[in-house]
Chain A
Amino acid sequence: MQFKLIILSVLLTLSSLVAADEKKADCGLAIDAADKIVPDPKDDCDYTKTGLNGVLHRALSSKETAENNQPVSVKEVDGKKEISAAHENVENEFSNAQELQVVKYRLLEKAAIKCSKGFVVDAELYIPANKSMTLELVYHCL
């Protein structure tokens, strides 16, 4: 009996050590998390960009953009204009390289609309926001 307890203790210790060394794996499917019944408090998986959930979140992001009707704000500092999205708007948020390119192109496009003779980008501001980042451009027209 004592031998069995020792073996069990060793197994539990080894498995907990393995678990401690394990890095958090890629998030599983949302349905697998749901099947566990009790939500894992440590689960910080983001499903807002995958599957049907991603489609709905993108659709609602578009809806929020239409509701706010404030795609960008432009302020002038020292003769230079700073173009960014409104605080509630997520148009300039990105969480991967592909989205960064889309966001950057969108902001450049809006600057081009305002500067008919062209513009120079003076600075790119990358600001962390929750699980993503936002991009703001500082530019001046030619």
Chain B
Amino acid sequence: MKKALLPLLITSLVPAAAFAEVTVYGKANVALQYSDKNVGDQQYTELVSNASRIGLKGSEVINDDLKVVYQFEYETKVDDGSNGGQTFAQRNIYVGLQGSGGTLIGGMFDTPLKASQEKVDLFNDYVGDFKTVLEGEIRAKNVVQYSTPAFADITVNLAYINTEKDVPNADDGYSASIVYNTKAIYLAVAADNNTKKASDGTVSAVDTDILRAVGRFTLGPVVLGALWENYDNGVIDEDGYLVSAQWNLTDEWALKLQTAQSDMIQLDGQSTSFGVDYKMSKTAKLFGYYTMVEDERLVLNTANSTWVVDEANRADDKYIAVGVELNF
């Protein structure tokens, strides 16, 4: 039997005994997308890779109550092979300890606030991802996080983001979440303070605070999701929301609908998506979506010193796509 090159390459590098507790995983997601963008009045088709990635995760048992846990995950562009010139871009990477007292990890990974969205964003990693409308989607650097064991399905996550500077107004960041998670109900409350600034090493005299509440409810074949958020960066103090619904028509077919709106990123920013999934197997699916992204950003009319909608640069974009996803 002819063996694939990748398994041979990996197995030649990793001792057999050490590989016992390692899991290799990944996702390949590619879609043919038609984009109709307001800026420049552009219409074109493109092949997009939606957060395709490959990773390793595992653990090393130290004793009955302690093990070392780790994860190394990298994004790869299935469409054109280039992540800003790199073949692989770092995603969530950490190493840490896990025992009966909880989990302590350090590295670069999604903040507790970002992770609190769970699966309410039905178009996560697609052009309809709510990150175009709502703040807080941060994969922070230099993070140390402690997570409690689950008590009555409730977990608390506390993260500290090191800015790695000792200069005025270069503040470290914090992110925390309380999560209640069962198969039928998911509830979370999360908060961030200066996470993006600390992660980027930004010097600023003004703190940025985000508060988020998330709920996901499974009612038979229907899954309802909702997210509310408040963002305060010392200049603006805005609320935003997302609501989503998935209807599993059969074991194979699912319909999805989602809308998100806020003024956090752009004035009257809004993203609405419709989608359909066809599950070919446990690991593979075909999907399609239609997404509208809009805003009413303003520009100063110097002629009469009034603010008017910037018709040339605002978002009034539409996307339609079909694609395939394989999880392995």
The reply to whether the CB of A60 lies closer than 8 angstroms to some CB of chain B is yes
Are the CB atoms of A60 and B183 closer together than 8 Å?
A: no
Q: Which of chain B's residues have a CB closer than 8 A to the CB of A25?
A: 183
User: Could you give, for residues 49-91 of chain A, a 1 whenever the CB lies within 8 Å of some chain B CB and a 0 otherwise?
Assistant: 0111101110111011001000000000000000000000000
The answer to whether A37 has its CB under 8 Å from any CB of chain B is yes
- Distance (whole angstroms) from the CB of B69 to the closest CB of chain A: 5
Q: Which residues on the A side are within 8 Å of B184 (C-beta)?
A: 15, 18-19
B7 touches A38 (CB 8 A): no
Does B306 interact with chain A (Cβ within 8 Å)? no
Which residues in A have their C-beta under 8 angstroms from that of B6? 52
Closest B-chain residue to A51, C-beta based? Answer: B328
A34 and B19 within 8 A (CB): no
Known: A47-B25, A56-B10. 10 other contacts (CB 8 A): A30-B57, A33-B57, A39-B57, A41-B98, A50-B283, A51-B327, A59-B7, A59-B11, A64-B16, A67-B16
- Is A31 close to B, CB under 8 A? yes
The CA-CA distance from A70 to B3 in the complex, in Å, is 23
B69 & A39 in contact (Cβ 8 Å cutoff): yes
- Please give, as numbers and ranges, the residues of chain B lying within 8 Å of A34 by CB-CB distance: 25, 55, 57, 71, 73, 92
Chain B CB within 8 A of A16 CB: yes
Bound Cα distance from A37 to B177, whole angstroms: 13
Residue of B nearest to A12 (CB): B180
Interface of B is mostly: strand
Interface, chain B (partner A; CB < 8 A): 3-4, 6-8, 10-11, 14, 16-17, 19, 23-27, 53, 55, 57, 59, 69, 71, 73, 92, 94, 98, 103, 105, 109-110, 115, 145, 147, 149-150, 152-153, 155, 157, 180, 182-185, 282-283, 327-328
CB pair A22 B19 closer than 8 Å:
no
A36 to B27, CA, bound (A): 15
User: How far does the alpha carbon of A60 sit from the alpha carbon of B14 in the complex, in Å?
Assistant: 9
Residues on B with beta carbons closer than 8 Å to the beta carbon of A18? 182-184
By Cβ-Cβ distance, the 4 closest A-B pairs, closest first, are A30-B25, A51-B328, A64-B16, A19-B182
Chain A residues within an 8 Å CB radius of B11: 56, 59-60, 63
Determine if A127 is an interface residue (Cβ-Cβ < 8 Å): no
Complexed CA–CA distance, A47 and B26 (Å): 12
**Chain B: CB-nearest residue to A61:** B16
Contacts of A31 in B (CB 8 A): 25-27, 53, 55, 327-328
- A29 interface residue, CB < 8 Å from B? yes
Least distance between B59 CB and chain A CB atoms (Å): 7
Q: Is the CB of B16 within 8 A of A63?
A: yes
Q: How far is the CA of A63 from the CA of B3 in the complex (A)?
A: 13
Rounded to whole angstroms, the CA-CA distance of A67 and B17 in the bound complex is 11
State A53–B19 Cα separation when bound (angstroms). Answer: 10
* A55 near B7: Cβ-Cβ < 8 Å: yes
Q: Which residues of A are found within 8 Å of B59, using beta-carbon distances?
A: 39
Most buried by B among A34, A37, A53, A55: A37
Closest-CB distance, B10 to chain A (whole angstroms): 6
Across the two chains, which residue of chain B brings its CB closest to A64? B16
Chain A residues lying within 8 Å of B185, measured Cβ to Cβ, are: 11, 15
B149, B152, B180: which contacts A41 (Cβ < 8 A)? B149
Q: Check if A29 sits within 8 Å of B283, measured CB to CB.
A: yes
Chain A hits for B145, CB < 8 A: 37-38
Q: How far does the Cβ of A22 sit from chain B's closest Cβ, in whole Å? A: 6
Q: Tell whether A19 pairs with B10 under 8 Å between CB atoms, given A51-B328, A61-B16.
A: no
Residue of B with least CB distance to A29 = B327
Known contacts A37-B110, A56-B19, A22 near B25 by CB under 8 Å: no
Q: Are B105 and A38 in contact (CB under 8 A)?
A: yes
CB distance from B197 to the nearest CB of A (A): 21
A128 to B134, CA, bound (A): 52
B208 to chain A, nearest CB (A): 22
Is B153's CB under 8 angstroms from A16's CB? Answer: yes
Bound together, the chains give a CA A102 to CA B328 distance in angstroms of 25
- In the bound complex, residues from chain B placing their C-beta under 8 Å from that of A56 are 7, 10-11, 19, 24
Q: A36, B283: Cβ atoms under 8 Å?
A: no
Q: Are A16 and B182 in contact (CB under 8 A)?
A: yes
